[in-house]
Amino acid sequence: MRPLDRVASRVCPIDAIDVDTDQILPSRFLKRIQRSGFGPFAFYAWRYDESGEPRPEFPMNRPEHRGARILVSGRNFGCGSSREHAPWALQDAGFDVLIAPSFADIFRANCANIGVLTIELDEGTAAQLFEQVGRDPAWELVADLRTQTLTGDGFDVDFQVDPHVRHRLLDGLDPIDLTERHEDDIAAFERGRPAWRPTIHSVPTRVEPTRRKLHP
Amino acid sequence: MGRTIVEKIWADHVVHRGDSGEPDLLYVDLHLVHEVSSPQAFDGLRSAGRPVRRPDLTLATMDHNVPTDPLMVRGEVPHDDPASVEQIEALRRNCRDFGVPLFPMGSLNQGIVHVIGPELGLSQPGMVIVCGDSHTSTHGALGALAFGIGTSEVEHVLATQTLPQRPPRTMAVEIVGTRAAGTTAKDLILRILNVIGVDGGRDHVVEYRGQAIGDLSMEERMTVCNMTIEGGARAGVIAPDETTFAYLEGRPYAPVGEAWQAALSQWRQLASDPDATFARTVQIDASSVAPYVTWGTTPAQSVPITAVVPDPANAPDEMTADQWRRALEYQGLRPGMAMTDVHVDKVFIGSCTNARLTDLRAAAEVIRGRRLAEGVTALVVPGSGSVKRAAEAEGLHRIFEEAGFQWREPGCSMCLGMNPDVVQPGERCASTSNRNFEGRQGPRSRTHLVSPAMAAAAAIHGRFVDVRDDVEA
């Protein structure tokens, strides 16, 4: 994972609440078996019309928001499907920092796992950001994970972030490497698991006749 | 101090207690895998040279992008989407390379991942169950802590059989009173979502409690827990009871003999203690539940079938009013319109929410001896091969086919618009699935979430009707 500490850029505003991951990346684009290349499909239905032409009014298509690495949206951003393809798509489209009053649980975890910083601000402060960007689309914001601050001309706020996530993002640490340090604990736990917990040693080729009916 | 069921399961699964700001490391008893959220995880293992730690606690199936047309499943008509074929082949290859058990397309036990886990008896009380799919919350119906994860976490579980997690808070949703006649578990969960909203459960696990929950059958409990994620909670759980044990006993992977007794004595300890404390409690009166229909583009935007489409002027705040206006425009509805005046083009009975045998029975009951309305296309997609065979043994497929419904092979089908079963642009669908997001069933599709009985009645009339009034003369 690429380390992330400070991002300075323009801000792309997505002024909606409960933005679900089907909007961020529609399901028909989930068929790629690679991690990369989802950026062109981010917000596809909002970004392009039925003939595939960019909708000029959508923020990602507006020249003044091009190159933005920070996205701000309304509460409960990333709700719905657990598809990690959604944060992959945003990251691939250039966004390293997402700001909203709240994020859906699974989405937030997915972002942390791929090196995208999610910042929660209270509704009032988020509204100020929207106003600021509305007044001056070229306005620059600096998100600093080390100092946990968001600063821009006329804007200066602190933000909270899970200390473990902060540590992992700053150092670009792989969670699997971290867990593997606990190999002895995992092995000890496995020795103590109840023997009656199910294991799948063989796949029954036909389950119905061997036991009581499956559908009483 | 008393503990909740979630706190008990958590304590039983902590491999390493997080110190100095780290999360706990939690052991995973069962990892379900499907074709869409796993290929990048297996590639990650490959490039790091890691094996799957516990293939015997991992089960894969194909459900999201598989076709459900019987001719296509049997290969008599080619599956002409190369990307889907590649994804299906990738799962086959990955399972072979890493020794993971797989129920492939066309095999007897293939089905929607959240239908086959419980029906095989693999999902059991007190377990931690994960899957790269948000509707993993379904398995909480059996008293398991079950939640959806992303692909990086899928890779993490494949590699280590654990996940770093912070303990969630528990929110009690207590259903008081008894459910009104003619209403279903789907109506109950739509009502719950309507009350708590799409983010009411965020950062929590929901424990469903109360008499009306205890009265639910196992399959009804699965419908309720399935849609918990639509309220923002990653997991929903119902304490195991005699209904749970009776459901599990004798299933292929349920313990037998002494092991069954040992399991049972542990499972009986799982329910939340009487003095357990919840971070939050919401009470809902079961008698307030009517057959619900969603009108908007979130699962919480619903009304009883007897109501009208709401007016954004009555929204609680300006952001919500904007959201309602956008939803009405997308859905092609006007405030004040009666829900019973809303016509449908398609009907979909299926998905991990409502594709089990009792769901198909409820739908069949409504349509027995009747015909689809003119111009309506309707699909019935059993949740698994096993559900399909059981339904056919009862003759349900004939009831559907005689009414003009298409009887399909198992899969996620029209729930999510990533296989051949899609709703066309501008078409309106009565769907027993779980999400009515913009474009969920295909670009510009319009979705209304309902119970199987309500979907069946809509298919017969070509518009939404109150299934309680829909009695054949």
A4-41: b (≥16 Cβ within 10 Å) or e: beebebbbbbbebbbbbbbbbbbbbbbbbbebeebeeb
Mean predicted confidence (pLDDT) in B393-404: 98
Q: Nearest-5° angle of CA A127, CA A70, CA A56?
A: 85
- The Cβ-side half-sphere exposure at B334, using a 13 Å CA radius, reads 3
Chain B's closest residue to A183, CA to CA, is B160
For residue B262, what pLDDT is reported?
A: 97
pLDDT tens sequence across A3-57: 999 999 999 999 999 999 999 999 999 999 999 999 999 999 999 999 999 999 9
Domain presence at residue A121: yes
- Residue B199 above 80 pLDDT? yes
Q: Is the ipTM of this complex over 0.90?
A: yes
Contact B152 A175 (CB under 8 A): yes
B372-384: b (≥16 Cβ within 10 Å) or e: bbeebbbbbbbbb
The Cα–Cα gap between B344 and B447 comes to: 9
Mean predicted confidence (pLDDT) in B285-304: 97
Find chain A residues with C-beta within 8 A of B442's C-beta: 28
Q: Residue A126 has what DSSP assignment?
A: H
Chain A's closest residue to B425, CA to CA, is A50
- The Cβ-side half-sphere exposure at A199, using a 13 Å CA radius, reads 9
Closest residue by Cα to residue B171 from B269, B268, B267, B283: B283
For residue B47, what pLDDT is reported?
A: 96
pLDDT tens sequence across B411-463: 999 999 999 999 999 999 999 999 999 999 999 999 999 999 999 999 999 99
Find chain A residues with C-beta within 8 A of B102's C-beta: 203
For residue B423, what pLDDT is reported?
A: 98
- Residue B63 above 80 pLDDT? yes
Domain presence at residue A186: no
- Residue A212 above 70 pLDDT? no
- Residue A210 above 60 pLDDT? no
For residue B472, what pLDDT is reported?
A: 53
Q: Angle, to 10 degrees, between the axis of helix B452-461 and the axis of helix B357-367?
A: 30
For residue A2, what pLDDT is reported?
A: 87
B180 Cβ under 8 Å from any chain A Cβ:
no
Contact A204 B21 (CB under 8 A): no
Mean predicted confidence (pLDDT) in B376-384: 98
Contact A198 B161 (CB under 8 A): no
Find chain B residues with C-beta within 8 A of A13's C-beta: none
Confidence tier at A202 by pLDDT (50, 70, 90): low
The Cα–Cα gap between A17 and B325 comes to: 13
Closest residue by Cα to residue B15 from B25, B28, B6, B29: B25
Partners of residue B294 on adjacent β-strands: B302
In chain A, the percentage of residues whose pLDDT exceeds 70 is: 93
Query: Which one of A110, A113, A170, A200 makes the best mutation probe of the B interface by having the most chain B beta carbons within 10 Å?
Result: A200
- Cβ contacts below 8 Å, chain A against chain B, sum to 236
B127-156 residues touching A, CB cutoff 8 A:
127, 132-134, 147-153, 155-156
Domain presence at residue A32: yes
Domain presence at residue A185: no
Mean predicted confidence (pLDDT) in A153-160: 97
Mean predicted lDDT score pLDDT of chain B = 96
Confidence tier at B20 by pLDDT (50, 70, 90): confident
Mean predicted confidence (pLDDT) in B233-241: 98
The Cα–Cα gap between B428 and B301 comes to: 16
Domain presence at residue A201: no
Query: Which one of A14, A30, A170 makes the best mutation probe of the B interface by having the most chain B beta carbons within 10 Å?
Result: A30
The Cα–Cα gap between B5 and B27 comes to: 16
Contact B203 A105 (CB under 8 A): yes
- Residue B473 above 50 pLDDT? no
Contact A84 B29 (CB under 8 A): no
Contact B232 A205 (CB under 8 A): no
B327-356 residues touching A, CB cutoff 8 A:
none
Mean predicted lDDT score pLDDT of chain A = 93
SS3 assignment, position B321: helix
CA dihedral B58, B63, B64, B67 (to 10 degrees): 150
The sheet with strand B102-103 has its strands ordered as B102-103, B58-61, B30-33, B128-131, B145-148
> What CATH number has the domain bearing residue A15?
3.20.19.10
Cβ contacts of residue B255 below 8 Å, gap of 6+? A196, A198, B262, B263
For residue A215, what pLDDT is reported?
A: 65
For residue A213, what pLDDT is reported?
A: 47
- Residue B241 above 60 pLDDT? yes
Please tell me which residue, B6 or B109, carries the higher pLDDT value: B6
Domain presence at residue A77: yes
Contact A176 B202 (CB under 8 A): no
Domain presence at residue A65: yes
Answer for the pair B33, B100: CB distance below 8 angstroms, yes or no.
yes
SS3 assignment, position B429: strand
B255 Cβ under 8 Å from any chain A Cβ:
yes
For residue A216, what pLDDT is reported?
A: 54
Mean predicted confidence (pLDDT) in B334-349: 98
- Residue A209 above 50 pLDDT? no
- Residue B107 above 90 pLDDT? no
Range of the domain at A161: 6-178
Identity of the residue in A84, A185, A214 whose CB atom sits nearest the CB atom of B119? A214
| Count of structural domains within chain A | 1
In chain B, the percentage of residues whose pLDDT exceeds 70 is: 99
Contact B132 A82 (CB under 8 A): yes
CA–CA min distance B461, chain A (Å):
30
